[in-house]
Structure 1
Amino acid sequence: MEIRLIKTFQTIVKLGNFQRAAAALQYSQPTITSQIKKLEEELGVKLFERGKTITLTTAGRLLHERADSLLREYDDLNVALYDFIQGDAGLVRIGASEPSASNRVPDILASFTRKKPKAQTKVTIGTTRELVNMLLEDQIDLALCNQPEPHLELEFHPLLHETFKLIVPADHPLAAREHIRLKDLQDEVFLFTPGSCAFRIRIEEMITKHIGKLRQSSIEVAGITAIKYYVQSRLGIALAPVVAVSPPIPGTVLREVADLMEGPSLGLLTRRNHATMSKISLSLLDEIRQMYASPSVS
């Protein structure tokens, strides 16, 4: 059933006859008659009782009652498709690992949705390894995460290197120290993320290089964003990315450590074939790149 036939039908009902409808739609009257005949043939029903005046049949009244909502939906669909094609609307599925999911993505999306108010966004949180699989299975369009192992189908766009700070309880002796080096931490209880975490790998690399073996047993905490609360409860100290622990929560203090290494790389992970991405997803990709092109953004 063609939309133009429905529009012709509704115009005839609104204006009361075929002649006025033809003038309004800038068709000839035979064209209008032909269109209504075609519509009746498609539907298999008669829509008008013709005489000195036209009267709707029962089927015609039913079509008339439903046609306006059908035309509105059609117009809405056209607008939505136009916005999608222009890159102003559509669904963007972004994945993110912590702490970026909690501490960076909200600001990114706030900026993006101000520019693209018609965009819909879906945020998925996972580890870098999980996000890699989601991209390969087309469950997300792009990911903000640490650099994964190279993959033929994916490409990584570095944005920055994470920086670390020491977080300790406010009443800990190290809280008052002005100068701290890694060797000063050898007798402490450390709070670590799981072994596969990029932050844990880099921290253990630093500890091995400057301390060797820790003298106290460590505590493993599954989430990097939760570690500060374990420090707050005096369960230990932690080396953590600044974005995850800044500003410090009550009962904790952040301190610089002189010989810390640069943290793991944070960046955007996408499929190599950008042709599979919608314009709105590419817009978000560009938005994030522009935001992190400024040296003040971390």
Structure 2
Amino acid sequence: MDLKAIKSFQLIVAYGSFKRAAEELNYAQSTVTMQIQRLENDLGVQLIERGTKFKLTEAGRLFYEQSLPIAQDLERLQAAITDARSGEAGHIRLGVTEPTASYRLPPLLSRFMADFPRIHISIEIASTPTLCDRLQQNELDIVIGSAPELGTRLYFEPLFTEPFALLLPEEHPLAGAANIALRDIQGHRLLITSANCPYRKQLSFLLHQQGSAASDTIEIGSMAALPHYVAYGLGIALVPMVILQPPPAGTVIRTINIDGIHMTSGITCHTSFHPMKPAVSKLYQYLKHELQHMKQALGIQL
């Protein structure tokens, strides 16, 4: 059944005239007449009585009343499909690691969703390995985090580098040191993230290279929580600079002199043979631009 013919029929009824309906639709009157004839053939009933005065048949009256909400639903459905095809609407499943999830993403998504209010986004926060596994299971659309492990058949686009600093209690023996090397933390309790955290793996590798593997550690599952544990004197920690704005009371920030204390972050998605949905592609390009060009004024005195 043709939605245009239904709309024509509804306008004919509203105006009580084929001519007025044709003018409103910018159709020839013969086109409107043919639409109604096809509609009647499809339904197998006569909708409008033939004669000089406009009058609906009983079937026409019933069809008019019942077709109004149907036409509205079909119009909404067509609009939703058009929006989904153009990327103006849809559902995106986004995976994000910390600290980006808490410190970078909220203002970016606020602006994006203001521009695209019909795009619904659900966010899962976890480690990169967990999120990439879910991406491979098609339970997520894109992931923001560090690079996936080799052999995952996922595409990673690096966008920014996460700088780290050493956070210490202000009464800590190393707090007064001007220059701190990785070997200097030997013998001091180190707060570390969970074993599957890519940053934890990188730190462990660097400590092993220096021959100064930390023997006294406390494992804390949330990187964003590390500064609060440092503030209560439970140890020292290498933490992302972005979460130290400002640092907790009772702590000091120091640089640590070793290459490799950073983490490259970016967007992970399926390879090119797995095309993105239009809405996902729109968010991907937006996040790529914003994260790549984000200039952060950390404002921290070291």
Query: Residues 274 and 95 from structure 1, CA distance in 2 versus in 1: closer, same or farther, beyond 3 angstroms?
Result: farther
**Whole-Å Cα distance in 2 between the matches of residues 297 and 275 of structure 1?**
34
Query: Residues 77 and 271 from structure 1, CA distance in 2 versus in 1: closer, same or farther, beyond 3 angstroms?
Result: same
Amino acid at match of 1:15: Y
- Deviation per CA, 1:80-122, whole angstroms, max 9, x where unpaired? 4444434444333321112221122223323433554543322
**Bigger Cα displacement from structure 2, 245-254 vs 155-164:** 245-254
Percent identity of equivalent pairs = 33
- Deviation per CA, 1:115-152, whole angstroms, max 9, x where unpaired? 54543322222221222222222222211111111236
- In the TM superposition, what is the alpha-carbon distance from 1:211 to its structure 2 partner? 5.1
**Whole-Å Cα distance in 2 between the matches of residues 35 and 97 of structure 1?**
56
Query: Residues 274 and 85 from structure 1, CA distance in 2 versus in 1: closer, same or farther, beyond 3 angstroms?
Result: farther
**Whole-Å Cα distance in 2 between the matches of residues 198 and 5 of structure 1?**
60
Which position in structure 2 is the counterpart of 1:252? 251
Query: Residues 19 and 279 from structure 1, CA distance in 2 versus in 1: closer, same or farther, beyond 3 angstroms?
Result: closer
Verify the 8 A CA contact 2:18 2:29 in the aligned structure 1.
no
- Deviation per CA, 1:48-69, whole angstroms, max 9, x where unpaired? 4555534445554443334344
**Bigger Cα displacement from structure 2, 47-56 vs 279-288:** 47-56
Verify the 8 A CA contact 1:182 1:260 in the aligned structure 2.
no
Which position in structure 2 is the counterpart of 1:27? 28
* Structure 2 counterparts to residues 185-204 of structure 1, below 5 A: 185-204=185-204
What SS does the aligned partner of 1:42 have?
A: helix
Verify the 8 A CA contact 1:8 1:32 in the aligned structure 2.
yes
Which position in structure 2 is the counterpart of 1:148? 148
Which position in structure 2 is the counterpart of 1:162? 162
Query: Residues 262 and 230 from structure 1, CA distance in 2 versus in 1: closer, same or farther, beyond 3 angstroms?
Result: closer
TM-score by length of 2: 0.83
Query: Residues 19 and 164 from structure 1, CA distance in 2 versus in 1: closer, same or farther, beyond 3 angstroms?
Result: closer
**Whole-Å Cα distance in 2 between the matches of residues 290 and 212 of structure 1?**
39
**Whole-Å Cα distance in 2 between the matches of residues 280 and 287 of structure 1?**
11
- In the TM superposition, what is the alpha-carbon distance from 1:24 to its structure 2 partner? 4.2
**Whole-Å Cα distance in 1 between the matches of residues 109 and 22 of structure 2?**
49
Query: Residues 118 and 274 from structure 1, CA distance in 2 versus in 1: closer, same or farther, beyond 3 angstroms?
Result: farther
Query: Residues 189 and 32 from structure 1, CA distance in 2 versus in 1: closer, same or farther, beyond 3 angstroms?
Result: same
- Deviation per CA, 1:205-241, whole angstroms, max 9, x where unpaired? 232233524353x111111112222222322221122
Verify the 8 A CA contact 1:206 1:260 in the aligned structure 2.
no
Which position in structure 2 is the counterpart of 1:178? 178
**Whole-Å Cα distance in 2 between the matches of residues 288 and 22 of structure 1?**
47
Verify the 8 A CA contact 1:164 1:241 in the aligned structure 2.
yes
Unaligned ranges ≥5, structure 1:
none
Which position in structure 1 is the counterpart of 2:235? 236
**Bigger Cα displacement from structure 2, 51-60 vs 203-212:** 51-60
Which position in structure 1 is the counterpart of 2:300? none
Verify the 8 A CA contact 2:143 2:267 in the aligned structure 1.
yes
Which position in structure 2 is the counterpart of 1:273? 272
Amino acid at match of 1:251: G
**Whole-Å Cα distance in 2 between the matches of residues 116 and 22 of structure 1?**
35
* Structure 2 counterparts to residues 78-157 of structure 1, below 5 A: 78-151=78-151, 153-157=153-157
**Whole-Å Cα distance in 2 between the matches of residues 172 and 259 of structure 1?**
20
What is the alpha-carbon root mean square deviation over aligned residues? 2.9
Matched, 1:39 2:32: no
- In the TM superposition, what is the alpha-carbon distance from 1:201 to its structure 2 partner? 1.0
Matched, 1:70 2:50: no
What SS does the aligned partner of 1:173 have?
A: coil
- In the TM superposition, what is the alpha-carbon distance from 1:173 to its structure 2 partner? 3.4
- In the TM superposition, what is the alpha-carbon distance from 1:275 to its structure 2 partner? 5.8
Verify the 8 A CA contact 2:129 2:196 in the aligned structure 1.
no
